[in-house]
Structure 1
């Protein structure tokens, strides 16, 4: 199986992209010629905005004006004094910085995907957004948190670029290197108008969204934003007024996105023990079973019991995608599943262990949602997507992944189904024991949702995406963490969730 690995180092970000689990090869990510520039993308339907013109941008100065000529002189002066370090940063950001900011987001998720440990008295202190330094530090970037952070980042960037495209092709101001032949162009020329700067939209949007999601990284993200903005000047792509217009769009769309985030219910997802206990009691009353946390010391509350109540992007309500009741413990189907899991545990082949480990995406990694963003990056590069098509791919995929997570967590805490380690005597896993109920499998739902959207975007690659989604699902069974029906039903659940997102994508105007 081939997969795409954008190298993730939070402090020193590598330009090289490592790839694939079976082949010792690397993909380099450099400036490239886009397959097209989508001149009509300013008319596409945004997600948060009503239209690309919702954010107003003033008309730019003409290229023959004294004001603009002064900007050109400033650009030439800065390029002439560029340092080797600045040149490295210019090369790093490239002409498709959606991928770079996605890579940075994945790095932050991996850095903060560390579960808070117990205190000396075996109590637990939860990360507190009002005191992000902690201890423990905020956030704990677990899979639900990661899916939400990636969704808000990519949706805001997509909408911001629609606004930028609207004005780019209304004003059609050429890039500096096209106006003045003395200005070199570092990146491959794609003929995009320079006002407003799409790079500035992305830099400011990302800085603002990611700072809200990872508040301890504010200084780091501000530094990256400034380096990105400076690189756009030094690459010959933009003049300062191009950046100013792009920054304005980025600030406004990020504010709109964060307003939605503030009211989507996530702040209540990590519910107190009384709420968690009430969910447990309700499930026992309905079904006669309940999941027990087998950690030592035991955490008083499972992971984000109310994530299933967070506002979804495209699914009307969680009941629309809630799966059927799982098999009752002791039933014939249940007993057959025990035999399957016992057989896997007694016959751990190298291939099964490899699959379980490859899709583990546990603590200290960019999580299953991040894994699928990584995979998407490979195909964005393979098909030479432009900036706005890249943002669209991430936006729809990450909305589906987040909606899948919400649907999955609703099922987890509605059914409160026990894990195999609780129900099979002397059973051991090879992949730990997650701190939340079993049914359905998060890996399965996240993966199937992502694979379905990627199949819509890249239909010729659908077979491999779906193969990987099914492998991600069975990996949790091989690891002993899930029942087979957690995986199979979760895969169906993820595909059902994704259909709502795909239906929205089909009418946004990009396929016309």
Structure 2
């Protein structure tokens, strides 16, 4: 009996001891990048709801993903800070030595802190955040580590917001672009809404990696001349003829890459709008697709988002600088005035000058950046537009996708070919600068990045 009693007592003591131990956190859950992919998608959805213009959306992506990167960085010793590499970014808060942190949680906190502040519908992120953080509590993260990680992520987010507040964005709010010239060849508002041109002073925004907005100024476009035989007339007729003879595949391509955040519709006396993802948002989603296919870990996924966002943001700054210097007239205006008053492009003409093609610039810049991370022949299926009722498309490389995105603007009837080809050159230079100048890995080279991706 004594032996049985003591055996029973020992069992009780062991059971109590186990129940009093802290539950070990599920490390797989803590470092799962899917929660970051979901958070980026949420930010995209909020920006679609808020109808952010393409340049403004690119700014939000850039600051949010940079914050995520910097907050995650201390947990990955082979990576290095973007401070000192991006314009005026310095003095990033550091974690307290000797203290334990959950850096993926800090990264999410930083990302959502910045995203909430830079968008209008912050309440939608407020509703989303608790669901994200609950995953870490459910995974068994120690309460003190949880609180410390949240505080660190918020500190990073506030630092990035301070930096963002100095980029000139506030100073250019509310400035309208008023057409004050009747000079032939200059941009005029286009149907159906005849909106003012958006973001005419975007060139004043501080770049991220570029030395200046005009660092990669494209070639001067053809002289405006509607006489038959002129270069400009030939370029215009190319748009006109393409629009009248589109194949089913060309129409599909144009629609897939439309990415117009605000499309106006007229039905009788009623006018309404539909919302879609921005061009930059489309490439951010491609970054997510690539990261998931490559089974990229949390750090590689955040690195990808940050670098692609920087390339896209600087691409828009570079592109918009030339748009308002050239003030190029859109094909729709020229064709309706001089060739065919009833001609309508397949896609609705965006409300800003024509040259160069923003899709060509930012798609090429993003493709160069993604190629540096995942390799030349990275095949994938792009399902970005499925939520907007379009079928997914397959690509053998990021460059193939960028080529298709670029030529889609000719099929859509909204760009002349020089805006596309020269825009691709400009985008390639922007992308190559980001890849060569911004080093995320210690002792990093482009070859090493691709090797890591493989």
TM-score, scaled to structure 2: 0.75
Whole-Å Cα distance in 2 between the matches of residues 391 and 194 of structure 1?
Answer: 23
Among candidates 398, 403, 409, match of residue 470 of structure 1: 403
Whole-Å Cα distance in 2 between the matches of residues 417 and 303 of structure 1?
Answer: 14
Query: Conserved in 1, the CA contact under 8 Å of 2:74 and 2:103?
Result: no
CA gap of 1:297–1:98, structure 2 versus 1, over 3 A, is: closer
Among candidates 482, 485, 509, match of residue 418 of structure 2: 485
For structure 1, the 5+ residue unaligned runs are 1-68, 80-89, 114-140, 168-192
Three-state SS of the structure 1 residue aligned to 2:295 is coil
TM-score, scaled to structure 1: 0.67
Query: Conserved in 2, the CA contact under 8 Å of 1:96 and 1:386?
Result: no
Could you list the per-position Cα deviations for residues 252-301 of structure 1 after superposition, in whole angstroms to 9, with x for gaps in the alignment?
1111111121121122445534xx348x65x95xxx631111235533x3
Alignment of 1:67-466 (within 5 A): 73=22, 94-113=32-51, 141-165=52-76, 195-218=100-123, 220-236=124-140, 238-273=141-176, 276-277=177-178, 289-295=185-191, 298-299=194-195, 301-330=196-225, 332-363=230-261, 364-424=275-335, 425-426=339-340, 427-461=343-377, 464-466=397-399
Query: Conserved in 2, the CA contact under 8 Å of 1:270 and 1:305?
Result: no
Whole-Å Cα distance in 1 between the matches of residues 165 and 197 of structure 2?
Answer: 23
Whole-Å Cα distance in 2 between the matches of residues 232 and 209 of structure 1?
Answer: 20
Could you list the per-position Cα deviations for residues 50-89 of structure 1 after superposition, in whole angstroms to 9, with x for gaps in the alignment?
xxxxxxxxxxxxxxxxxxx99954x58x99xxxxxxxxxx
Query: Conserved in 1, the CA contact under 8 Å of 2:283 and 2:366?
Result: yes
Whole-Å Cα distance in 2 between the matches of residues 507 and 110 of structure 1?
Answer: 30
Alpha-carbon distance, 1:460 to partner: 3.4
For structure 2, the 5+ residue unaligned runs are 1-17, 79-97, 262-274, 379-395, 449-454
What is the aligned-residue RMSD (CA, Å)?
2.9
Query: Conserved in 2, the CA contact under 8 Å of 1:376 and 1:454?
Result: yes
Could you list the per-position Cα deviations for residues 276-332 of structure 1 after superposition, in whole angstroms to 9, with x for gaps in the alignment?
348x65x95xxx631111235533x31010112111100000121111110011273
2:270 corresponds in structure 1 to: none
2:271 corresponds in structure 1 to: none
CA gap of 1:402–1:468, structure 2 versus 1, over 3 A, is: same
CA gap of 1:264–1:348, structure 2 versus 1, over 3 A, is: same
Query: Conserved in 1, the CA contact under 8 Å of 2:260 and 2:276?
Result: yes
Three-state SS of the structure 2 residue aligned to 1:251 is helix
Whole-Å Cα distance in 2 between the matches of residues 223 and 342 of structure 1?
Answer: 48
Query: Conserved in 2, the CA contact under 8 Å of 1:93 and 1:100?
Result: no
Alpha-carbon distance, 1:503 to partner: 1.2
Whole-Å Cα distance in 1 between the matches of residues 151 and 193 of structure 2?
Answer: 49
CA gap of 1:297–1:470, structure 2 versus 1, over 3 A, is: closer
Could you list the per-position Cα deviations for residues 11-46 of structure 1 after superposition, in whole angstroms to 9, with x for gaps in the alignment?
xxxxxxxxxxxxxxxxxxxxxxxxxxxxxxxxxxxx
Alpha-carbon distance, 1:96 to partner: 3.9
Alpha-carbon distance, 1:232 to partner: 1.0
2:427 corresponds in structure 1 to: 494
Alpha-carbon distance, 1:377 to partner: 1.2
Three-state SS of the structure 1 residue aligned to 2:347 is coil
CA gap of 1:71–1:240, structure 2 versus 1, over 3 A, is: farther
Three-state SS of the structure 2 residue aligned to 1:318 is coil
Three-state SS of the structure 2 residue aligned to 1:319 is coil
CA gap of 1:251–1:430, structure 2 versus 1, over 3 A, is: same
My pick for the range that moved more, 226-235 or 398-407, is 226-235
Whole-Å Cα distance in 2 between the matches of residues 366 and 507 of structure 1?
Answer: 28
Alpha-carbon distance, 1:143 to partner: 0.8
Whole-Å Cα distance in 2 between the matches of residues 430 and 95 of structure 1?
Answer: 39
Alpha-carbon distance, 1:378 to partner: 1.6
Three-state SS of the structure 1 residue aligned to 2:58 is helix
